[in-house]
Amino acid sequence: MESDRVRSWAERLSNNRVNGREDFRKSVLIKLGLFALCVAMMVYTFFGDYEYYVVMGMLGLVVVLGYKLVVFFDEIISDVKLFADKLVDSKNNRQFSSNEQGSLQNYLVNIYQQQLRQNQQKQKVKQSQFSHLKTIIQHIEIGLISFEESGKIHIFNSAARQLLKCGQHKNINELKPISLSLVDQFKSLKTGGRTLVKIEQEDDTIQLSIFAIELNYMDRPVKLIALQNLQTELEQNEMEAWKKLVRVLTHEIMNSVTPITSLSQTIEDEIIELQSNESKEEDFAESMDDIRMAVKTIGKRGRGLISFVNDFKNITHIPKPDISKENLFELLVNIKTLHLAELQKANVSLNITDLSQSPIVEIDKSQIEQVFINLIKNAIQAMKMDEANKYVNVVVKDATDKDMLQVNVSDNGKGIDEDALGRIFVPFFTTKKEGSGIGLSLSKQIIRQHLGTISVKSKLGAGTEFTLKFKKEIADAIN
């Protein structure tokens, strides 16, 4: 058995009585020296005037010593090979011991045990990392499935099982009863591929977003699939948007209805008092003035409420863009010319720079003018009247995506606090006393209809920057 071989190896090393590496070297040199001396004496006796039996005796001694030397080296090679085999085997937990301090056996065993401890420590670290990664994969909210070309599943986390409403599976083909098209998409998608798949589940339909990436695991190709329920995410975002909108609508409507209700009660009280015979002529005139003022205020609040409803209609019924090819830089220069008086009055410098290869884009000219006018006016209003060196910089440049053009609108105004920044595109939200709160919301919807994006970043006391990205060609996409 292997354990017997190891014990035999240890005993042979012990019997050699070699004290460490240096003693082993000395022992080899002594054995070689004795063998060489015997060979020299044999040659000397052979050519000298010695009896035949002396020569044969020396020859026999050389043969015996040579055989012993060969056996010695053969045992050493065999023992070292056995030791090396045990050293390479990191799964072997056997412990060697030596009874001789300073022996070669003890030296080699110490090396072995040191390497074994290192291997065991590495194995513990790898096992800990694997357990940590496995826990993360199992508890992450995104569904993850990995499988080989044969269909064998390596990873099938709890999020994926919840999305597919199934238990643990060993092969990807076992998911065909859930959705055959889903399994086909799993197999056909290449690295970086994305697609959407609808799955019917009892009385419910879910829309899954699928992303694939191909990897190598232990020299075998493995595909990793990420699953997300877009339906749930869209519903959550929609509900959150409705909550924000309802809060704003409630605030605006209550601001108008509350004073109307209060003034209506005041008018009713005044009329009741006038109907009584006790009211005097001067009291009648005063009451009529109060009623006239109350009715006037109610009318004003009513008109404000009508204006609010019209604004709401405006942001929910934006006309389809009338697309034409326009030079965005020239459009911005024209806006500057139209608002030159307002800029001079506010003592604001408007700088427009074109860094693009070509500022030509397909847009609805009037709608995009409205967007930039709104952004520039907001920037002007964000600056204090008594401030010096006020500026608004507008830079037209090529976006990272070669099919898009980017415009940055920045100012050195007071900036926007973090809480307001998160709600800046919510309809009717405003930080200005006289603002309607629809400008930026309307701008965002216009940019979206142009298949572009608008984003904002700001820092209190340092200013605000809006980034707009336009697709250069959109006519075919939106028609």
- pLDDT tens, residue by residue, 6-65: 444 444 444 443 445 566 677 778 878 888 888 888 777 777 777 777 778 878 888 888
Residue of 229, 231, 227, 230 whose CA lies nearest to 175:
227
Give the tens place of pLDDT for each residue, 379-424: 888 777 667 788 899 999 999 888 899 999 999 888 888 877 877 7
Distance CA 273, CA 271 (A): 5
- Do 396 and 355 form a contact (C-beta atoms < 8 A)? yes
- Do 190 and 172 form a contact (C-beta atoms < 8 A)? no
Residue of 296, 297, 295, 274 whose CA lies nearest to 286:
274
Cβ-based neighbour number of residue 187 at 10 Å: 14
What are φ and ψ of residue 101, in 5° steps? Answer: -70, 135
Cβ-based neighbour number of residue 464 at 10 Å: 23
Q: What is the pTM of this model?
A: 0.46
pLDDT for the residue 90: 46
Q: Would you state the structure tokens that stand for residue 185, as one six-digit string?
A: 């998409």
Fold of 234-316: Helix Hairpins (1.10.287)
pLDDT for the residue 329: 93
Tell me if residue 195 falls in helix, strand or coil: strand
pLDDT for the residue 63: 83
CATH number of 324-478: 3.30.565.10, 3.90.550.10, 3.40.50.1780, 3.90.1150.10? 3.30.565.10
Distance CA 403, CA 401 (A): 5
The residues of the chain scoring below 70 in pLDDT are 1-24, 79, 82-109, 201-205, 231-239, 241-242, 244-245, 247-249, 251-257, 259, 263, 270, 272-287, 301, 304-305, 307-317, 385-386, 427-438, 479
pLDDT for the residue 163: 82
Fold of 136-230: Beta-Lactamase (3.30.450)
Strand (E) or helix (H) holding 145: strand 143-148
pLDDT for the residue 195: 83
pLDDT for the residue 22: 63
Residue of 296, 371, 381, 376 whose CA lies nearest to 339:
376
- Do 381 and 422 form a contact (C-beta atoms < 8 A)? no
pLDDT for the residue 241: 66
